[in-house]
A and B are shown apart, each in its own frame.
Chain A
Amino acid sequence: MSRRRMPRWSPAAPALLWWGFFFVVPVAWIALYSLGQKPPPGGGAVTLDVLSGANYVAVTSELFLRVFWVTLRTAALGTLACVLVGFPVAYALARYVPERWRPGLLFLLVLPYWTSFLLRAFAWRIILAPEGALSDTLRALGLLSAPLSLLDSNAAVQLGIIYNYLPLTILPIFVALDRIDPALGRAAMDLGAGPVRTFLAVTLPLAAPGIAGGVLLTFILAAGDYVVPAILGGAKGLMVGNLVATQILASQNLPAGAAMAVVLIGLLGLAVLGAQAAVLLTRGALRLARGPAL
């Protein structure tokens, strides 16, 4: 009996199709449009008769580059803050919280996502308002002399981003920490490592994949955020997402918006590659400094 074997990748076909249709095709479409011409005033379609890189020259002018820089900085600082705040939370959840409480606490962690993103961003406007609760409290405590002037600035956007993406940082780190056999920590201590060295030599390297996952998820989503800067940032807190929206919706300049999107994708890719290289280099340097085990 002869039997034709299905190709090895066949179980992945649905995923590949989905990925191709909803990711590759749209991105290719955007890339193509970024090379087109803005429709004439009064309306019409983007013309793709003559493809040129003129849009890229326009969107990399100094003004736009500043926004790209602010976007990456805000996303990077936000990610850093999320890791610094999120790691201890994930650590406590994985190590100190009794197992029967964990599902409930994890549920509370994602509960905010059950309400509208928009609503939660607006809620921050109330909290951060010059005459709002936070301002009043800080002034009552004598920590602030004038009303709080955080709203409609990059600082408010930064805060909103940390708030919004913190759970996405915590979850992958929690999963990684939860998978570490607690006996490994005991073994390290047994072999003479104190709590700090145990953390640095055993816990941290084993949690690294989870941290990387959390960082990637947070950084990429934060860099592309549109709602938080639109609601909390005002004119001074713009990010690339807002510029893209303005170009496409207000200026009817789809090609320019598309070019910005492509530049953002490129910059994100570079940032991720750069971070990866930094991690590998650090690891290599540490290994070299330690010397061979044998």
Chain B
Amino acid sequence: MASDVKLDRVSKSFGAFKAVDDVSLRVPAGSFVALLGPSGAGKSTVLRMIGGFELADTGSIHIGGRDVTDLPPYKRDVNTVFQSYALFPHMTVAENVAFGLRQDGVPREERRSRVRAVLEMVQLIDYAQRGPAQLSGGQQQRVALARALVKRPSVLLLDEPLAALDRKLRQQMQVELKLLQHDLGITFIFVTHDQEEALAMSDTIAVMRDGRVDQVGTPTELYDRPRTAFVAGFIGSQNFLAGRVESVGRLVADNGVIVEAANTRDVAAGSKGLAAVRPEYVALTAREPAGAGNKAEGRVVAVVMLGDALEYVLRLDNGDEIFARLARNAPERPQEGERVWARWAREHAALFPYEAVAARVQAIARPRPEGKSE
């Protein structure tokens, strides 16, 4: 049976550092929710408070309608898959999985059949008598999953569950976890700093930064209608242009480019703003497009092969860069060194109030090295 999870105005400080700042969140029963954010955003702390490993300073937490705010972990109907897996090194795989059932006093025969069933489900029945140290990272991850699931929790918490796996295995496990959640029907809440992982697995994503939730929505909503420049840049890639908002929906960038945007947040005319256009909505043409806005001229300085697409780096005369992602069969595919025009449609451009986060987000928009979590 799945349970819903409700956080009401939860805060948590460590010394002077406010790790979680007035967070409210509703996780419907049976949903797959990602807490997404960079290191130090507070997402792991939120997860630990749901699990009971940290107690909230203020606010309340309900699981399945029951107030668990001050309950210790062993009195909550949730189980956790830890980032380091935290398998007991002095027990076999089977003993690890049986541990939680022993604590609940499940009778011996039922315990054995449940351990067997869950080990068969994660395809580790042949490894039941081995120690955790004799397993690969992916196998250990599955033991951790089996150990939590054998207790049939109403909510499963996953703390960066795939961070320690290599890329191929991670993608495979993303699909498996998604299918598993679908089959079991229980609530999954997982923490990740990897936006691709969040987009791939969850029904709902809560984007966090600096201890607060910036936006909650479906992957599509967050991708297409980000509420802040931070969310716009953290999910997917983004070209940002800083400038002054001339009138509603019209920004003149510091480098002279004029952006006319259909998606405008309440950015007051005359204030500083950020325009955002995703690389896949930028087209490249040899001839100057008509109209005054939504175009920029520059030189192609690099073409990056992404496999299913090509990423073009266009350098404007003032040194700014614009990224364009073209299909490999796009009608116009300029060569490196050519001078071309970038253009985009009004409905694919968005305006946000200016925030300093943009520089960092621009860096994230480039292909980035694999990151470790907080």
What residues make up the interface of A, taking CB atoms closer than 8 Å to B?
181, 183-184, 186-194, 197, 201-202, 205-206, 290-294
Contact = CB atoms under 8 A, between A and B. Distances in A.
A294 B103 contact: no
Nearest to A197: B103
Interface string B119-140: 1000000001100000000000
Contacts of B128: 293-294
Contact of A187 (B82, B92, B111, B119): B82
Given A202-B88, A291-B108, A293-B94, A189 B73 contact: yes
B105 to A, nearest CB: 9
Given A184-B88, A206-B90, A190 B51 contact: yes
Nearest to B82: A183
B88 A290 contact: no
A290 B102 CA distance: 9
A187 B80 contact: yes
A290 B72 CA distance: 26
A289 to B, nearest CB: 11
B92 A183 contact: no
B112 interface: yes
B115 interface: yes
Nearest to A198: B74
A187 B86 contact: yes
A164 B90 CA distance: 33
Provide the main secondary structure of the chain A interface: helix
5 contacts: A184-B86, A188-B99, A190-B51, A190-B53, A292-B94
A184 B111 CA distance: 22
Contacts of B111: 293
Contacts of B79: 190-191
A293 B112 contact: yes
Interface in B67-120: 72-74, 78-80, 82, 84, 86-92, 94-95, 97-100, 102-104, 108, 111-112, 115-116, 119
Contacts of A181: 84, 86
A292 to B, nearest CB: 7
Contacts of B78: 190
Interface in B45-74: 51-53, 72-74
A293 B78 CA distance: 22
Contacts of B103: 191-193, 197
B147 interface: yes
Interface of B: 51-53, 72-74, 78-80, 82, 84, 86-92, 94-95, 97-100, 102-104, 108, 111-112, 115-116, 119, 128-129, 147-148, 151
B147 A191 contact: yes
Contacts of A292: 94, 112
B203 to A, nearest CB: 24
A291 B74 CA distance: 23
A186 B92 contact: no
B74 A192 contact: yes
Contacts of B148: 190-191
B51 A294 contact: no
A294 B102 contact: no
A100 to B, nearest CB: 15
**Nearest 3 pairs of A and B residues by beta carbon:** A191-B100, A192-B103, A293-B94
A51 B193 CA distance: 79
Given A184-B88, A190-B51, A202-B88, A294 B98 contact: yes
B86 A293 contact: no
Nearest to B128: A294
Nearest to A292: B112
Contact of B116 (A186, A189, A190, A294): A294
Contacts of A192: 74, 100, 103-104, 151
Contacts of A190: 51-53, 73-74, 78-80, 148
B53 A186 contact: yes
Contact of A189 (B72, B89, B104): B72
Contacts of B53: 186, 189-190
